[in-house]
Chain A
């Protein structure tokens, strides 16, 4: 069943991680993939090659874009002397995330996964605090995801593109963190659960299984992960 030792080991590692809410498909079952409409039966992220990694990024950008679009549509009331700046910057970020999403969609072309259905029922879009806290979580998770996925990419052009995006996400993360608590822009001690290491001055980095375990709370569409 398992034709490659590496694939089997990766699968066992992944299963052992106990990621809740993410459907597991054994590496050896990959012959099933691609025959169904991904939005009907979930989206499959096949990490055997760069296409899978890019689709993973596309999935996360879909989630982020959907969040900021809903913030804009909810007309969240920002407060404080910099309320107008906050509103303007959230609009900036919204267009950045839409640009990232649309870029991946265009770059992946026919290899792109379908549109994900999101679940934002845990977010109070009328509350500035709820919106800021969620934005912070998404941005820090996004940084961790790109940092953790970068070394998986086999094509240097794709690695560079991921690098072009992750630093923008880190700029977002620092900005939103400062809105929540000024000076927390790079509080690496608060990011150790995402893989950061303050004593080394190192930012968050997480493997896709761990990122998806966190993100799955906000995604209704079933995401199948194979060949991780």
Chain B
């Protein structure tokens, strides 16, 4: 851990006294978990995710005076800012599709800061939960679709290699991957809780 909890508390207090530069170590520590476990899995778009992360960090600096230290990390507070901004983006873009809702409302109970004393633990849990949901949806796919996704999107092999492994032409592999992603999207959206359920 780069910044221990006591050090984090000291930096927060210093920032609240007006030295906003004290926020730098905190932001540097939590930028990656916010991006990789909170924002990007809910957006699926790297450019938008970077914009949201930038806005989240800037909002945290601007509103640090309103943060109340409760003996726990500032990470849940940052995470909640990020999630609110993701929601706002979904609303602005009118992304009412089920997948968007599924991504946005994923693991809502983990927003409760009282149940998480350690930021790293919280990020790890969220990452694991996201991975489990992806794996569950992958498990619903037909074998050839699952293999197509694993070869191309997870192992990131070139299309030619993927086609060879499956014993098809590149054109046929393209269609297989296309169908596989569509099928995954359907399963992922269907398994997601709706807004009312969260």
Q: Answer yes or no: do A and B interact.
A: no
Interface residues of chain B, those whose CB is within 8 Å of chain A, are none
